[in-house]
């Protein structure tokens, strides 16, 4: 139980285009999801907290207009990287909070974004 599915696992896009990443909680409802970014050999950096039915809360320094987050249902949150540039290339990971005490915060498998 407590499975989070993230799609796609890898994506390559051209500069200037937009890319959407989906994060789904498969067997539980997640009113809150989190989006992280991870650079090579670095830790996870929280980008934003996504709440179902309301606006996301972004961390300081994260551009709201570049990283659009939509949490339209209790099982789906999406991150759209708009007008992507090579510096947006990174590993993006979502997490969903569950009340299952033995699972803590469950993470998706991540999306490797490469902007060329």
**Binding stretches for other proteins (CB under 8 A):** 4, 6, 31-32, 34, 36, 42-46, 49, 91, 93, 95, 97, 101-110, 112
Q: How far is the CB of 66 from other proteins (least distance, A)?
A: 20
CB-wise, 17 or 29, nearer to other proteins?
Answer: 29
d(C-alpha 47, C-alpha 3), whole Å: 21
Tokens of 92: 């993006």
Q: How far is the CB of 10 from other proteins (least distance, A)?
A: 9
d(C-alpha 16, C-alpha 6), whole Å: 23
Rg (CA), the chain: 13
Strand partners for 42: none
CB-wise, 76 or 91, nearer to other proteins?
Answer: 91
Q: How far is the CB of 113 from other proteins (least distance, A)?
A: 13
CB-wise, 11 or 82, nearer to other proteins?
Answer: 11
Q: How far is the CB of 105 from other proteins (least distance, A)?
A: 6
What CA–CA distances, in Å, run from 86 to 19, 24, 45, 71, 96? 13, 26, 18, 26, 28
């Amino acid at each position: 139980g407590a499975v989070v599915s993230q799609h796609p696992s890898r994506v390559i896009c051209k500069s200037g285009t937009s890319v959407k990443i989906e994060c789904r909680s498969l067997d539980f409802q997640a009113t809150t999801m989190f989006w992280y970014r991870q650079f090579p050999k670095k830790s996870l950096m929280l980008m934003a907290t996504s709440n179902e039915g309301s606006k996301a809360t972004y961390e300081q320094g994260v551009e709201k207009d570049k990283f659009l987050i939509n949490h339209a249902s209790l099982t789906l949150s999406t991150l759209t990287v708009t007008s992507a540039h090579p510096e947006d290339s990174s590993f993006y990971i979502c997490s969903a909070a569950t009340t299952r005490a033995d699972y803590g915060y469950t993470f998706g498998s991540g999306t490797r974004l490469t902007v060329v």
